[in-house]
Amino acid sequence: MAQWNQTAGTELDCNQGGNESPSPTMRATSRSAVGNSMKAHRFSARGALRAWGNGLVVLLALMMCSFGLQAREYEVERQRIEQVFPQAEVSEPEGEYQVRTLRKGDEILGYAFQTINVVDIPAYSGKPINLQVLLDPQGTIKDAYVLEHHEPILLIGIPEQKLHDFTAKYQGVKADQRVVVGHSSDSNAVTIDAVTGATVTVMVVNEIVMRAAHEVAVSLKLVEPAAGGRSKPATVRADVYQPASWAELTGNGAIRRLLLTYGQIDEAFKGTEAEGIDEAEPDEKGETFIDLYATELNPPTIGRNLLGEAQYTDLMSTLKPGEHAIAVLGSGDYSFKGSGYVRGGIFDRVQLRQFGNIISFRDLDYIRLSDVYAEGMPEFREMAIFIIREHVAFDPGSPWSLELLVRRQTGPVAGVFTSFELPYQMPEAYIERPQPTAEELAAIEEANRPMWVNIWYQKSFQIGVIVAALGLLTVILFLQDKFTQHPNFLHWLRRGYLIFTVVFIGWYALGQLSVVNVLTFVHALFQDFRWELFLSDPVIFILWTFTAASILLWGRGVFCGWLCPFGALQELINEAARKLKIPQYELPFAVHERLWAIKYIILLVLFGISLESMMMAEKAAEVEPFKTAIMLKFDRQWWFVLYAVFLLVINIFTRKVYCRYVCPLGAALAIPTKLRLFDWLKRRKECGSPCQLCAKECEIQAIHPDGHINANECHYCLDCQMTYHNEHKCPPLVNKNKRKKREKPAPADANLIPVVEVVEP
């Protein structure tokens, strides 16, 4: 492990409070801080020397801090490798993907790499997640561990251990398998349950792990290039036969050849411990070391022409369903069977590889071949038939390779191996490929869709319900004059909608918008804008789209008053408190008006922090209680729960204190509210002077004493509009109706009661 020890120096305590590895942004910040601290005091030579001295101290401190952070990152990587591959020797990173080879002596135990060097897929934060992945020589994932992430829900919400538990499920998964988070119509796919509350993040992690593992495994020739799961194997066509000579069978690729000279063998051992051992003389470099041929015998055109009718029929009768016979023919000085082979053992010089799987042959899989009949066939020193058993799941229609292993002795027992591949692909005329079923076609289509499209399919129920709910809200807003004329109905409709917002949009669909979304969007506009980033969470995307449109039409109040789950929770709690006759308290309007500025100050502070470090801004955004109360349903550390409960308790006595004075998201939405196109909240000339009824009844004090409604603070509850249309409550309407009654003249054709005069007799 010498390569790791080079970085294990003294570490400053410069990363307290978190386990995250230093990001490139943090390192860039360090360099910027050093540059700023090195500005010279130009007033005197002594001042200049002092400045340079201070700068040097800061530079050294930051360098030690940087080394310490790197040492911590390497320590995590080293620990994971030691845990999976004890006592492994780790090489330096090599190749395009910076892959470390893990060895134990001459044996390759596996490979280690970081996904950031392979794929660059942004997660929900807009930044990629970096994992270390360990592969074994068969292309199977042995470990996947998160080294660095910037996901806000994991930084300050869901415990990070849940993400590590999720990535641990990749152990044993092949790099060429298909893994789906949640349900899939592909029965061959490996399914892994998502992390509740972080579905988008883990789907991105799945994409990163599997794409990176497949890319690296293909580059190392551990798996075949074809992505996705293996399809159904092809079948050999028993009805296709035509006479063919040796030249015709080698010409069409039915028989493949590997020719090696002594010079090629010597070249292959260069740079190893076996270099210079048993090398050929210069005049022998071009001589044949081995001339090797391989073919599959099951197709009648190949098998009958090589073996003859009787021998081919006898061979096929011994094969069980799903078994295949491979012929290996060799000449030259090197034996592919080997002289050290013993009964019951394994042939250690030849093996097959398909789909990254190694197929070895034992003595029971070997049949001696002595008679061959193909016209024009050369003479061979040794010939053999090897049987591929059914359990291997061999596919004759997919590429495979025959690997020839050559060994050179470096000591009494030790030796060095090198391998040579003879690739083989069955001619299409000899096989029949199964037609994919409708289920398989659907699985192929699903596998080829972009990740965000699959997420939308998986959340189709949530999308449908939320779109229907937003449609209903649109109807309410456009027909608000009609609805507000029926206050009792609208009150109950609004209460039901708020319950839906809390339960379905918030706790079920996790559709709580956050100021972090705003900061991420702003940074994406100036850095690397990708629609896929925002489309990866359909619920949030739909809510943001509707919110943006509603701001242009009505202002911020539609979201804050109808669609914010935490705001709806506050309103329902306060409504219940009012029903229970709990006293309500309001601040004087002059004080209340000045407290509005707090949320704008918080927004500016968060934006300023985000310019320096988005990670710090995400943590500072914990001023929002949304993650605690809505996304995590109060299931987190006690101090977060205490903060959220404190805000809800205050709300019992004064409606929506957090929304009015603290919420940075509300402040962010209020800024574009200045651009709204319509003002559909109606007012009368008497509003404010002399009438103050709506201003006093507005439970969030969004109506100024002069009667005008502050759209930046209004939550669009429509209570003032219900009063506006109420002829028995709105003072201007009441006075108007009274005047009408007083000024109404007596009817001209009043019905008089006739007087009957009675005459006595």
Supply the pLDDT for residue 747.
62
Supply the pLDDT for residue 519.
87
Choose between 549 and 178: higher pLDDT. 549
Supply the pLDDT for residue 20.
39
8 Å CB contact between 576 and 568: no
Percent pLDDT > 90 in the chain is 40
- Which tens digit of pLDDT belongs to each residue from 95-106? 889 999 998 888
Residue 16 pLDDT > 60: no
Q: Are strands 179-181 and 190-192 parallel, antiparallel or unpaired?
A: parallel
Q: What is the mean pLDDT of residues 582-595?
A: 90
Instruction: Report d(CA 72, CA 79) in Å as an integer.
Output: 11
Helix 45-84 to helix 24-37 angle (10° resolution) is: 160
Residue 337 pLDDT > 70: yes
**Terminal C-alpha separation, the chain:** 142
Instruction: Kindly compute the dihedral angle of the four CA atoms of residues 151, 153, 159, 162, in this order, to the nearest 10 degrees.
Output: -70
- Which tens digit of pLDDT belongs to each residue from 485-539? 999 999 999 999 999 999 999 999 989 999 988 888 887 777 766 777 678 789 9
8 Å CB contact between 326 and 144: no
Beta bridge partners of 404: 350, 420
Supply the pLDDT for residue 185.
45
Supply the pLDDT for residue 625.
93
Supply the pLDDT for residue 423.
93
Nearest to 560 by CA among 630, 569, 578: 569
Residue 127 pLDDT > 80: no
Give the 3-state secondary structure of 537-579.
CHHHHHHHHHHHHHHHHCCCHHHHHHHCHHHHHHHHHHHHHHH
Supply the pLDDT for residue 753.
55
Please give the full DSSP string across 225-262, using - where no structure is assigned: S--SS--PPPEE-TT------HHHHHHTTSEEEEEEEH
- Which tens digit of pLDDT belongs to each residue from 602-649? 999 999 998 888 778 888 888 999 988 998 889 888 999 999 999 999
Residue 422 pLDDT > 90: yes
Length of the chain: 761
Window from 119-128, 271-280, 349-358 with minimum mean pLDDT: 119-128
Residue 64 pLDDT > 50: no
Instruction: Report d(CA 23, CA 150) in Å as an integer.
Output: 9
Choose between 757 and 205: higher pLDDT. 205
Supply the pLDDT for residue 443.
67
Choose between 23 and 122: higher pLDDT. 122
Strands (E), 595-687: none
CA distances, 173 to each of 145, 154, 191, 208, 432 (Å)? 14, 25, 11, 14, 29
Residue 12 pLDDT > 90: no
Residue 61 pLDDT > 80: no
Residue 135 pLDDT > 90: yes
Classify residue 549 as left (phi > 0), alpha (psi -120 to 50) or beta. Answer: alpha
Instruction: Report d(CA 89, CA 85) in Å as an integer.
Output: 9
- Which tens digit of pLDDT belongs to each residue from 178-214? 786 655 445 666 777 766 556 667 777 887 898 899 9
Give the 3-state secondary structure of 193-227.
CCCCCCHHHHHHHHHHHHHHHHHHHHHCCCCCCCC
Supply the pLDDT for residue 752.
52
- According to DSSP, residue 285 is labeled T
| Residue 90, both tokens | 């780790």
Q: Give the pLDDT band of residue 68 (cuts 50, 70, 90).
A: very low
* Cα angle 281-285-291, degrees, rounded to a multiple of 5: 130
8 Å CB contact between 102 and 111: yes
Q: Give the pLDDT band of residue 348 (cuts 50, 70, 90).
A: confident
CA 126 to chain centre: 11
CA distances, 254 to each of 174, 274, 372 (Å)? 30, 36, 16
- Which tens digit of pLDDT belongs to each residue from 268-289? 888 888 888 888 888 889 999 9
Instruction: Report d(CA 286, CA 217) in Å as an integer.
Output: 34
pTM over 0.85: no
> Cβ–Cβ contacts within 10 Å for residue 413, how many?
6
Supply the pLDDT for residue 154.
56
Choose between 139 and 452: higher pLDDT. 139
Instruction: Report d(CA 385, CA 580) in Å as an integer.
Output: 89
Q: What residues have CB less than 8 Å from 751, skipping those under 6 apart? A: none
Percent pLDDT > 70 in the chain is 80
- According to DSSP, residue 751 is labeled -
Q: What residues have CB less than 8 Å from 167, skipping those under 6 apart? A: 131, 144, 145, 146, 205, 209
Beta bridge partners of 383: 329
Indicate the burial class of 217 (C-beta count within 10 angstroms; 0-12, 13-18, 19 or more). Answer: buried
8 Å CB contact between 229 and 177: yes
Residue 338 pLDDT > 80: no
Nearest to 118 by CA among 45, 211, 35: 211
Supply the pLDDT for residue 296.
95
Instruction: Report d(CA 110, CA 579) in Å as an integer.
Output: 67
Return the residue matching tokens 């806000």: 152
8 Å CB contact between 206 and 194: no
Q: Give the pLDDT band of residue 72 (cuts 50, 70, 90).
A: low
* Cα angle 23-25-28, degrees, rounded to a multiple of 5: 115
Supply the pLDDT for residue 178.
76
- Which tens digit of pLDDT belongs to each residue from 697-736? 898 888 988 888 998 999 999 989 998 888 888 888 888 8
Supply the pLDDT for residue 278.
85
The chain-wide mean pLDDT, for the chain, equals 81
Return the residue matching tokens 């489309």: 535
8 Å CB contact between 388 and 297: no
Supply the pLDDT for residue 28.
38
Instruction: Report d(CA 134, CA 407) in Å as an integer.
Output: 28
Instruction: Kindly compute the dihedral angle of the four CA atoms of residues 678, 681, 682, 685, in this order, to the nearest 10 degrees.
Output: -100
Residue type (1 letter), 174: K
Q: Is the dihedral of CA 219, 220, 223, 228 positive or negative?
A: negative
Residue 455 pLDDT > 90: no
- Which tens digit of pLDDT belongs to each residue from 148-183? 887 765 554 567 788 888 889 999 999 888 786 655
